[in-house]
């Protein structure tokens, strides 16, 4: 009886490990393929890790996909872009609005500011 339990436990553990490896190998966490709820969670989690003056617009596109909303300005030789990534649900109307997003302000493709201050800074340029 004890030997049967051990064999079953080993088989169960092996199946768990194989399942885990398959999920890690084939699950694509590409935001463009996620449901909106998953994408919000992914965006919110990812944006807590970005570093100012290091994170770039190209990295944002690779990691987060296309922004939900974007605005740009050119002032002299500098190029400013504010992007909005959806991070929280407000109302079910089928339209993503700025109040459902976290803004990121880039200057010459490098992240300057995140959060509510990003859009205010952009408007005040």
**Does a structural domain hold residue 3?**
no
> What is the arrangement of strands in the sheet containing 69-75, beginning at the earlier edge strand?
69-75, 78-86, 101-107, 110-114
**Does a structural domain hold residue 14?**
no
DSSP code for 56: B
Q: 85: burial class by Cβ within 10 Å (0-12, 13-18, 19+)? A: buried
* pTM for the whole structure: 0.71
**Does a structural domain hold residue 29?**
no
pLDDT in tens, 1-41: 688 888 888 888 888 888 888 776 766 566 666 677 788 88
Domain count, the chain: 1
**Does a structural domain hold residue 84?**
yes
**Does a structural domain hold residue 70?**
yes
**Does a structural domain hold residue 5?**
no
**Does a structural domain hold residue 53?**
yes
Range of the domain at 45: 35-123
**Does a structural domain hold residue 56?**
yes
CA distance 111 to 118: 10
What CATH number has the domain bearing residue 76? 3.30.1450.10
pLDDT in tens, 69-123: 999 999 999 999 999 998 887 777 777 878 889 999 999 999 999 988 999 999 9
Backbone angles phi, psi at 48, to 5 degrees: -70, -15
């Amino acid at each position: 009886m004890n030997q049967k339990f051990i064999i079953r436990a080993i088989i169960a553990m092996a199946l768990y490990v194989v399942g885990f490896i398959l999920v890690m190998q084939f699950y694509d966490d590409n935001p463009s393929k996620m449901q909106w709820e998953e994408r919000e969670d992914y965006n919110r989690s990812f944006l807590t890790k970005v570093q100012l003056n290091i994170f770039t617009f190209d990295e944002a596109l690779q990691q987060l996909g296309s922004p939900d909303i974007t605005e740009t300005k050119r002032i002299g030789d500098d190029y400013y872009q504010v992007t909005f990534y959806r991070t929280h649900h407000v109302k079910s109307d089928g339209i993503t609005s700025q109040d459902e997003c976290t803004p990121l302000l880039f200057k010459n493709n490098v992240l300057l500011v995140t959060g509510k201050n990003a859009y205010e800074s952009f408007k005040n340029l």
